[in-house]
Chains A and B, each alone.
Chain A
Amino acid sequence: MSQVYSSLRKPLIGGHKSLGDVTDDVARPLERRATGLWWMAFLTALTVLGIGVIAVSYQIYTGIGTWGLNRTVGWGFDITNFVFWVGIGHAGTLISAILFVFRQRWRTSINRSAEAMTLFAVMCAGLFPLIHMGRPWLFFWIAPYPNFRGPLWVNFRSPLLWDFFAISTYFIISAVFWYIGLMPDMATLRDRTQSRFKKVIYGWMSFGWNGSTRTWVRYETTYMLLAAFATPLVLSVHSIVSMDFATAVIPGWHTTIFPPYFVAGAVFSGFAMVLTLMLIARKVLNYEEYITVDHIEKMCKVILATGGIVALAYSMEAFMAWYSVNHYERFVFLNRALGPYAWAYRIMVLCNVVLPQLLWFKRVRRNLIAVFIMSIVINIGMWFERFVIVVTSLHRDFLPSSWAMYSPTIIELATLAGSFGLFFTCFLLFARLLPFIAIGEVKAVLNYARPHPPSSDEKRVPTPPAGKGELALEG
């Protein structure tokens, strides 16, 4: 079955690559020695991670009181970071699963790294509910395991328990999905590497893959099913995270709009993070021809869309507060906008609602520097969104007598930094040791919108210049 060819479309992958070129391009960074730049980045990340480890150890040794929390504000940085990282994770699954289900073939060149990002983000996220416990060493009590303490079970009504199930399921499914995608590429690397050691490792990881079509068929079915699962899963995970708040009674938390609002926010922030990473990666690993400006622009569009939903959610919340005639609810929103934490609220609105509107302009969308800055801005904004939701709702709730303020301690700041350290350490290792781009999948879309299938000995044709003609979203 040949590809539909139309002059309106242009190839997903630039540079008129042949199948072999793809293998070479993707494998090259893994075969050459690590660059000084990589080492610099890696050691920095590792140091920051180290700081985080020290902070967390100190906190677990001394007590959760080393955080700035109090009897009124029981959650602060911990849950803020948790929601933030879970949100980041969502973009990966969205790209790999949802776009797959919708046959968005442009996903192929970014889904591998996006999924990796998901895994690492979820690792960071999972860390916080763990260490935020007063007695973290008893975390396993959250799991409903049979025991001999008489009937002693967990509370299935508690959103925290839902979290436990959602996050662990999410992590496992994402990991499986990611690994399944990795298997054929492992085989490819196995068959081209010279080093015996690598051959053994890759061989072991490739499960003896030999490219049989009979396997490919089953493989594709499974991949499709996993994608079909991951799609509602990713929606459920952040919905459940949002229920930590939505099912509570605290004004500003107790809001039915939260599930969709959180999911949109998650994709919003997630894509921002993907952009941050991709923009660096394509430069450093010279994947410009795989992760083209068109990819960047498409992601900007997604951000624009989800950002719009987020903005709508903000206004709906405020409207409902006014419309409900519930004076506790009204107070919370006035307090967010004008109270002692107004600065956080203003940062949030500026970064998530005002600035992203620049993405309406194509010039901005295709200007990599601008997009990079924008992605950072959005990440900051979304972190503050979670901070505003968690802290401003708690610090002034029903009884004025218990109103209080919250400010983080150095331990909390170090822990937040540490989570970034963990994230980038993992990601850098991934970029160094595993194919950053899904070789098998890219090959499949190689001759998308190409007149003639390329062959290795065919003469190179220069890539058509970027920015010419729109790329329709469906393949």
Chain B
Amino acid sequence: MAKPLFLGIFENEEDVVRATRATRERGYEIYDVYAPYAVHGLDEAMGLRPSRLTWVCLVLAGGGFLIATLAQFWIGAIDWPLNVGGRPFNSLPAYLPVMFETTVLIGGVGVTLAMLIRARLYPGKPARLVHEEVTNNRFVLAMVQEDSSFDQIGLKTLWESCNAVEIRELAEGIR
């Protein structure tokens, strides 16, 4: 059961970025920011670490490359050595295209799956929205309502100074 959320709704990316940065400077932990498109700079405003998917991708792609290389070598030179037009059994140069394609295939598809898993996205997953317009034209800065030390008033004024169009509470969180 997710905690209740305190939401600031903004109309454009400058404002929400400004608000986010200011809020963090106040020492608050940003719960999340919801945006209709990828707002550049929002991630470091929230203080997110860069995604580690790049490394996942590297590993997968490398694996693909290895599989292709070994498989072709094994098939051509060990399991079924055939005299094909007098070519050497292990015609490495001729194997390059398949190596490359396999690398790309496994790397690309793999990282996409990894992303979906990490982000817990899957077909038919019910969408839990913080705001009905968040996929259209609203930017929503969401905070978890901690214990009493949570200063609603302060944040409200801060966000309004960043011309938030609305400030509301969400009784139960979305996660």
Contacts and interface: CB of A to CB of B under 8 A. Distances in A.
Interface of A: 1-2, 18-20, 23, 144, 151-153, 155-157, 161-162, 165-166, 168-169, 172-173, 176-177, 180, 183-184, 187-188, 190-192, 203-222, 225-226, 229-230, 232-233, 236, 240, 243, 439-441, 443-444, 447, 453-456
Contacts of A444: 37-40
Contacts of B38: 216, 219-220, 440, 444
Looking at chain A's contact residues, the main secondary structure is helix
Interface string B100-119: 11101101110110111011
Contact of B57 (A190, A204, A225): A225
A177 B35 CA distance: 21
B129 to A, nearest CB: 6
B23 interface: no
B54 interface: yes
B27 interface: no
B137 A20 contact: yes
B126 A208 contact: yes
Interface string B125-139: 111111011111100
A205 B122 CA distance: 9
A153 B13 CA distance: 56
Max chain A CB contacts within 10 Å: which of B14, B17, B100, B123? Answer: B100
Contacts of A454: 12
B5 to A, nearest CB: 12
Contacts of A218: 51, 53, 115, 118-119
10 contacts: A20-B136, A153-B80, A165-B98, A191-B135, A210-B34, A217-B43, A221-B51, A225-B111, A232-B100, A443-B36
A357 B161 CA distance: 57
B29 interface: no
Contacts of B91: 156-157
A216 B130 contact: no
A444 B40 CA distance: 9
Given A153-B79, A214-B32, A184 B112 contact: no
Contact of B35 (A173, A176, A207, A211): A211
Contact of A188 (B71, B98, B136): B136
**6 nearest interchain CB pairs?**
A208-B125, A19-B137, A1-B41, A151-B80, A207-B121, A162-B97
A201 to B, nearest CB: 10
B80 A165 contact: no
B76 to A, nearest CB: 6
Nearest to B61: A229
B72 interface: yes
Given A157-B87, A217-B48, A444-B37, 10 more contacts: A153-B80, A156-B76, A173-B105, A183-B121, A188-B36, A191-B132, A210-B127, A210-B129, A211-B35, A456-B137
B95 A211 contact: no
